[in-house]
Structure 1
């Protein structure tokens, strides 16, 4: 393969996979590429690697450009194996290289590739690294599309290495979008919809990060490298991730023992209202059932919660849930929540009732299978009173539903 140079001393060292590739429960009919980059500076640096399947091939090709023993830094923007999969093979051939990543990524990489004895450099948002003639700047972009993700920017060459972001799944013979021979916009948007859109809320973090960077080239981890019309592609992400639906309503119903479940309900309401979604909260033991049911009829999403007592729900909630089974709730989102001390069966009982309706009932299993997110949980279960990390868990679940309500592809 001929050398592919992005700028002085910066080379593409990835892998073209022109098969029909199974990926995220999709079949990539146009194949894909796993883009990695070598910066041949005074302190030679590799940014990202390739899929696990091609680790040996990756190192062999890289060795044509540099002796791997000379490599001093390996930057891993994202730990998913289609990006970090070549790390084990490369680390073995580059024994003195320091692995650069976010704090969350360290343990993941150690466990995935048995790198417990390797030297890691943890970088935080805004940190820079002098690699001898070039300077790398790092920006954290969590949940695009996993929590440990970051992007890397070469200050001198104004090149952004954003990993999955701004990618396309195309195994083209040309490496640069302007040489593809066609308008790649459809492929670009298709990738966004399949991979990034479920995480659209976090695109705002990306857009904010880019405001302080003068990006003249985008070198992603899949597909075409972008060197023309850069602002067009950035604007597309901003447009595609913007809220597109207004006037949505959520009904939140709960019963509580010591107000812990009430606090969850109130925090859910707060998060929805911060997202310009009208939220109505009802205590099922104090509100008129007919009023609650009418609110549910008008709502776009319904959250039902209870404290747990003797392995069950409390108060009048079960009577309400029995009524829901008789209603046509097609098109509404349903979710269960609750607090507990010794055990937390109430949320699961509510989940069982919700699953007997025709609502789109949220579950952790469904979220993981459709988005890969592991930080969003349904039902939302909080032990004792919600605080600190538990409030963050509630927020993740509420914002996930808010995004479902506010966006449309």
Structure 2
């Protein structure tokens, strides 16, 4: 069932109420969900987000009752995931005059997903504004909430925030406003945060900072209830739930190296952890006392083990450490492999194999993608030759991901 509701002058909610048991991020949404889009019928008519691709045709038919799609001047896509951008598959051929507004990382995704290579795009950056004729849209980039290309849109005159997935709930609701739901939605609000946003909690801080400069009187997300009362309560919940709640965490980093490249990776990992107030101890397994290394591993909350690769194998004494770890009780600890290489980097994979034989929670790219959807975090951490530029960024992403796991209470 599609429905529309007036939120402000010339601002319309257009939503699809999906009251099935909905498969979503390997969860089953027993209470269903909604897919919310918003039409601003200004001098330059603008659509903000669409609906799930499964309901794209129904969405376009319903939208056509409110406005001729050819009249649309802008289509704002805050987030490219198909439950929000999916309506583009049916809409693009009807809204031929519309410029697509999104962040730079979103352009390629939208072009490839919906064959929009010949369409006009307006790339917006953090703080950019757009005059849509009688209303002004302000854009703030919110990367990794919960994918790289995500942004939020704020209507200056109406003080409405359109944050896509952020501040959402998963409930198939006939009453679109939270204050008309007939029950306290806080539990559903927190449940959504924990399931979708919390793995990306670090990036909530930038969101909260951005909102401090905005007078938000209504939050119109892309799932579930629209919030028009107790706005600061809901923003405050995100601030509280994303705050560091665990202290005194320790990381042990053990490595061997040929030409100091793996040492540089180890030192960069250490720096990132220490910037997050996590104690990081670094050992060269060819120089440090092995008893001291193993004692540090036993006390640590996370363990990174790395080696350079020579003739398709690890170097130095790192294998002695790994063999000793097999006899240790490491349950509850986070494990990760890293290293530098010049050709194929087999040593890193051998370390990963060793770690997988322990009782640690060993990080892998596959696990990260399946649990968070993040594609910018990679495990093992593989660096070719000396780490620089993009490779330093890759190391930072991986260390930050583990730091978040350590500092998170959920």
What TM-score, normalized to structure 1?
0.99
Q: Following superposition of structure 1 onto structure 2, how do residues 106-121 of structure 1 map, counting pairs within 5 Å?
A: 106-121=107-122
**2: distance between equivalents of 1:378 and 1:83?**
29
Deviations 1:181-231 (A, max 9, x none): 100000000000000000000001101111111100000000000000000
Within 2, Cα distance between the matches of 1:99 and 1:2? 24
Where do 1:28-107 residues align within 5 Å? 28-107=29-108
The answer to whether structure 1 residue 295 and structure 2 residue 296 are counterparts is: yes
Q: Deviations over 1:32-72 (max 9, x none)?
A: 00000000000000000000100000001111111111000
Instruction: Note the alpha carbon deviations across 1:15-44, whole angstroms, 9 max, x for none.
Output: 110100000000001100000000000000
- 2-11 vs 382-391, which deviates more? 2-11
1:7-406 maps to which residues of 2 (within 5 A)? 7-406=8-407
SS in 1 for 2:84: helix
SS at match of 2:253: strand
Displacement of 1:3 after TM fit? 3.6
Cα deviation code 1:92-116 (max 9, x no counterpart) = 1110100000000001000000010
Instruction: Quote the RMSD (CA, aligned, Å).
Output: 0.7
Deviation at 1:150, TM superposition (A): 0.3
Q: CA deviation at 1:2?
A: 5.7
CA displacement 1:357-395 (0-9 Å, x = unmatched): 101100000000011000000000001111111111101
CA contact (8 A) 2:342 2:385 kept: yes
Counterpart Cα distance in 2 of 1:166 and 1:184: 12
Aligned partners of 2:15 and 2:34 also within 8 Å = yes
* Distance of 1:286 and 1:14 partners within structure 2: 63
Q: Distance in 1 between matches of 2:286 and 2:61?
A: 68
Inter-partner Cα distance in structure 2 for 1:216 and 1:131: 20
| Cα deviation, residue 90, structure 1 | 1.1
Q: What is the DSSP-based 3-state SS (H/G/I as helix, E as strand, rest coil) of the residue aligned with 1:36? A: strand
- 1:14: how far off? 2.0
Tell me, which stretches of 5 or more residues in structure 2 are unaligned?
none
Q: For residue 93 of structure 1, give the secondary structure of its aligned residue in structure 2.
A: coil
What secondary structure does 2:209 align onto? helix
Distance 1:346 1:216 in 2: 55
Q: Which residue of 2 aligns with 1:407?
A: 408
Contact preservation (8 Å) 2:3, 2:14: no
Moved over 6 A (4+): none
| Distance (whole Å) between structure 1 residues aligned to residue 266 and residue 146 of structure 2 | 28
The Cα shift of 1:89 comes to 1.1
User: SS state of the match for residue 14, structure 1?
Assistant: strand
- Alpha-carbon shift at residue 408 of structure 1 (Å): 1.3
Counterparts of 2:123 and 2:114, CA distance in 1? 17
- Aligned residue for 1:13, secondary structure, equals strand
Show CA shifts across 1:73-129 (max 9, x none).
000000000000001211111101000000000010000000100000000000000
Return the alpha-carbon distance in structure 2 between the equivalents of residues 218 and 114 of structure 1: 31
TM-score normalised by the chain length of structure 2 = 0.99
Q: How many pairs does the alignment contain?
A: 409
Distance in structure 1 (CA, Å) of the matches to 2:53 and 2:364: 30
